[in-house]
């Protein structure tokens, strides 16, 4: 695949130099390249300044970074004036997992179907798209623990500056917790990924109601500690047994009791 990189020549002590980003997919150390001066550098400004913002992770595979650049471009095409585009989900985890990519588009006018179809056509990935205004997203961050875990590990098009005060809405948390009861009722028939999602949901709610602010890293560490497992893959690959369910029930019941107490206090 032929590549074109727009870079600025830097003055060196003995030789002038050009820095090439490691994220480029086709140019490798030791390879010869052709350098040409641009006639009109201004027209390449946008192409040369793709600098996404990383939160909760230091690096990502080059192929994924290329996919993110494409996703930003596609999403912008189908959105009105957006405040930001945020990539999150297990897509950002190390390895080549392309099955779970969550896209948050902060805009009041988004053709989500158009975004989904073009990403599927160009990248072969079926994304999960959440489109909402910046105000709605701030409300979600304040009251929904899953919003907080999403934003704690993500890559965004623009810098994220979200200040919010956690709001414990016990009735809303009660509804979210009800989803996690599915694991108790259907432990034998659920697959590993379903068990992991429901466990993550439970621990997120449990931590949120106690401390207000959480991150994905905190939730994952708590899962491993509470269930006595070394890696999260034990759940995702469905290697958990009855003892896991016993611990899960205890945590679920404690979390449920905390929520009920909150609801009663709010009703006074």
Q: For residue 60, which of 104, 96, 28, 101 has the smallest C-alpha distance?
A: 96
How many beta carbons lie within 10 A of that of residue 191, not counting itself? 10
Do residues 74 and 121 share a domain?
Answer: yes
Same-domain check for residues 76 and 60? yes
Structural domain tally of the chain? 3
Same domain, 63 and 37: no
54 shares its domain with 140: yes
Task: State which residues form the domain around 261.
Answer: 170-267
Distance spanning both ends of the chain, measured CA to CA: 67
Q: Is residue 165 part of a domain?
A: no
86 and 147 inside one domain: yes
For residue 206, give Cα distances in angstroms to 34, 71, 252: 57, 33, 8
Q: What pLDDT tens digit does each residue of the chain (268 aa) get?
A: 344 556 667 666 666 776 665 544 456 677 777 777 666 555 554 455 688 999 999 889 999 999 999 999 999 999 978 889 999 988 998 887 777 789 999 998 999 999 999 999 999 888 999 999 999 999 999 999 999 999 999 999 999 887 888 899 999 999 999 999 999 999 999 999 999 999 999 999 999 999 888 999 999 999 999 999 999 999 999 999 999 999 999 999 999 999 999 999 877 6
């Amino acid at each position: 695949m032929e590549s074109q990189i727009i870079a600025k020549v830097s003055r060196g002590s003995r030789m002038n130099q050009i820095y090439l980003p490691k994220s480029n997919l086709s140019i490798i150390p030791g390879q010869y390249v052709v350098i040409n001066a641009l006639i009109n550098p201004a027209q390449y400004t946008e192409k040369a300044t793709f600098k996404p913002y990383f939160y909760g992770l230091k690096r990502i595979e080059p192929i994924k970074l290329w996919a993110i650049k494409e996703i930003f471009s596609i999403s912008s095409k189908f959105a009105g004036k957006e405040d930001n585009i945020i990539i999150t989900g297990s897509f950002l985890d190390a390895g080549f997992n392309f099955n779970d990519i969550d896209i948050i588009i902060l805009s009041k006018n988004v053709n989500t179907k158009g975004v989904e179809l073009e990403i599927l056509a160009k990248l072969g990935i079926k994304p999960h798209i959440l489109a909402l205004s910046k105000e709605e997203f701030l409300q979600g961050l304040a009251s929904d623990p899953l919003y907080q875990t999403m934003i704690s590990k993500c890559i965004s098009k623009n810098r994220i500056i979200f200040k919010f005060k956690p709001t414990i809405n016990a009735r809303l948390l009660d509804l979210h917790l009800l989803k996690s009861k599915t694991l108790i009722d259907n432990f034998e028939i659920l697959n590993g990924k379903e068990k992991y999602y429901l466990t993550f949901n439970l621990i997120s709610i449990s931590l949120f109601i106690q401390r207000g602010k959480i991150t994905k890293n905190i939730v994952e560490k708590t899962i491993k500690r509470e269930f006595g497992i070394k890696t999260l893959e034990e759940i995702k690959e469905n290697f958990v047994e009855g003892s896991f369910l016993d611990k899960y029930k205890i945590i679920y019941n404690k979390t449920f009791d905390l929520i009920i107490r909150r609801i009663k206090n709010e009703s006074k």
